[in-house]
């Protein structure tokens, strides 16, 4: 009974924080599916990553807030529907409600067949930007979770090196803790510019952070 009571208290506290979160309220007002849109918005405004005419890949896209933001940034006057100047290909192992102008692939990014479908959706054209909000289901066992997180980041990095334009950029979510410095080093080995970013929209108590790599080094490995 004590465990259940504690759980109810934790859930109630989380729900109260969520309901009163200014980014949750703003997302509801502006029609975004999740507050996560404002994390990408802040990163984009800081680094100037998204421009009309781009081809963008959104990894770990569901429920679609990042794709919504990208779609508005690539549209005349920031429209949520209608004309789109660019291409967005989104992928997630969870289903995602359609977003006008966004090509969605449902599948596990860790599977070669799904990666092949993603490459096919690009039609052989290189991407200008790859963004990844992917995260594994965490077990609470630090060493195991760090390995899962690192694997997803490394997959995103390998995909970016194989499919980005030379001046393209990659943004990934990762977590401070075991393995962070090694992943940051991988980025520095492959990109000319690397920026760690903790957006204001990312909850302060969360260990999540983001790394942006811009401009592939000439000798970056193509895996």
Which of these ranges, 136-140, 179-183, 196-200, has the smallest mean pLDDT? 136-140
Closest listed residue to residue 168, CA positions, set 17, 57, 84, 75: 57
Q: What are the b/e assignments for 185-194, b being 16+ CB within 10 Å?
A: ebbeebbeeb
Please tell me whether the peptide bond between 10 and the residue prior to it is cis, using omega within 30 degrees of 0: no
From the list 45, 43, 50, the residue with the least C-alpha distance to 73 is: 50
What's the pLDDT score for residue 2?
39
Rounded CA gap, 38 and 26, in Å? 9
Report pLDDT for 18: 56
Tokens 């781009």 sit on residue: 54
CA angle 109, 112, 113 (to 5 degrees): 95
pLDDT at residue 11, as a whole number: 61
173 is catalytic: yes
d(CA 43, CA 199) in angstroms, rounded, equals 7
pLDDT of 137 > 70? The answer is yes
Beta bridge partners of 214: 169, 193
pLDDT tens per residue, range 7-61 = 554 465 445 555 678 999 999 999 999 999 999 999 999 999 999 999 999 999 9
Q: Which residues pair with 132 in a beta bridge?
A: 59, 172
Give the mean pLDDT of the chain.
88
Q: Of these residues, 29, 173, 195, 200, which one is catalytic? A: 173
CA distance linking residue 85 with residue 220, whole number of Å: 29
CA nearest to 187, candidates 144, 148, 223, 156? 156
């Amino acid at each position: 009974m004590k465990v259940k009571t504690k759980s109810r208290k934790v859930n109630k506290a989380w729900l109260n924080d969520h309901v009163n979160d200014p980014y949750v309220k703003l997302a509801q007002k502006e029609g975004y599916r999740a507050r996560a849109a404002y994390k990408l918005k802040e990163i984009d405004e800081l680094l100037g990553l998204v421009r009309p005419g781009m081809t963008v890949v959104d990894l770990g896209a569901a429920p679609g807030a990042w794709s919504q933001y990208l779609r508005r940034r690539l549209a005349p006057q920031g429209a949520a529907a209608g004309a789109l100047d660019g291409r967005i290909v989104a992928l997630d192992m969870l289903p995602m409600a359609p977003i006008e102008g966004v090509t969605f692939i449902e599948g596990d990014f860790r599977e070669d067949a799904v990666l092949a479908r993603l490459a096919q959706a690009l039609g052989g054209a290189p991407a200008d930007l790859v963004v990844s909000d992917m995260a594994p289901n965490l077990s609470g066992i630090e060493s195991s979770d760090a390995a899962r997180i690192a694997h997803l980041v490394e997959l995103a990095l390998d995909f970016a090196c194989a499919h980005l334009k030379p001046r393209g950029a990659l943004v990934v979510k990762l977590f401070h803790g075991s393995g962070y410095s090694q992943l940051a080093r991988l980025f520095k080995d492959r990109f000319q510019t690397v920026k760690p970013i903790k957006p204001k929209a990312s909850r302060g108590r969360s260990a999540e952070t983001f790394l942006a790599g811009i401009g592939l080094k000439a000798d970056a490995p193509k895996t």
